[in-house]
Amino acid sequence: MSTSSSVYQRQGFGGELGLKGPPALLLIDFVNGFADPEQFGGGNIPAAIAATVPVLAEARRRRWPVVHTRIVFADDGADGNVFTLKVPGLLGLKEADPASAIVAELAPVAGERVVRKTVPSAFFGTGLAAWLTQRGVGSLVVAGCTTSGCVRASVVDAMSHGFRPLVLEDCVGDRALAPHEANLFDMAQKNADVLTWARLRERLDG
């Protein structure tokens, strides 16, 4: 165990949340623009997308509620915000822009919720918490990108709303590996269970 990990353990961080109630699957910003290293992608995002394909198939088989998110700004940019001051290129993600479309291999089907957002969190100003609560969801299985950005923000807000986040470490990605790994560590200490899809399958089947 690293020195930093031992400090967290000694101070009582890193408790296990486990599964509570019916889970839902949240797929964060797996869109073409974030799959493309020439736009907003890179790093291990393509690998995370590929690893999420069987997760989505299993969620559908188990009839979990499924939520996809996209970053979508108004065609005239009237809803530009502080996020776009930091990353001006995000304003190019319009409703009809191919870069804002969910990647084909994870495209939503009828009955799956698509959340459009203009900030990192899937919860802020979207009504997602109420939608999940209405369906009795207690645990939220999370995949998506980027780990250090929209995934982290959504996980913190999910926890704040009383859902138990389970972050699939092989199904989240970032354009750089250092922030990816740092944020997985920190979420595991404070906000979520962080585990592989294979490990979660064992929990579900057990």
150 counts as catalytic: yes
Q: What are phi and psi of 11, to 5 degrees?
A: -90, 0
CA angle at residue 179 from 203 to 194, to 5 degrees?
10
Quick one: how far is CA 49 from the chain centroid?
A: 11
Encoded tokens for 203: 């929990």
Radius of gyration of the chain measured on its C-alpha atoms: 16
Distance CA(140)–CA(136), nearest Å, equals: 11
Catalytic residue among 103, 150, 171, 200: 150
- Active site amino acids: 150
